[in-house]
Amino acid sequence: MKAELRPGVHTALGQQVAVEVWWEGKMIGVVYGADGPGIRFCSKHEIMAVTGLAGAMVVEVWVQPETINSEAKRLGLVP
């Protein structure tokens, strides 16, 4: 099953327009613009990223919904 992308506006990001990433009925992350020419992916879960060449540069990010990111806990973003 592929992750689903949904548009959203996030108050934690100062009303910034974002793209929510959903999987199995749960929001597992958010993509939004970064300073300069780029994007940022945020999740309270552990993530892994792989960069590869497939005719163009591609970054594939996997989210592990069963885990909670220790940095998110440290910052008080999750219980």
Place of tokens 């994007």: 39
The reported pLDDT for the residue numbered 75 is 66
Encode pLDDT of 34-74 as tens digits: 888 988 888 888 888 888 766 777 788 888 877 776 666 66
State phi, psi for 54 to the nearest 5 degrees: -135, 55
pTM of the model: 0.73
- What are the boundaries of each domain within the chain? 4-74
Q: d(Cα 79, Cα 32) in Å, to the nearest integer?
A: 23
The reported pLDDT for the residue numbered 19 is 93
The reported pLDDT for the residue numbered 71 is 66
State phi, psi for 73 to the nearest 5 degrees: -65, -45
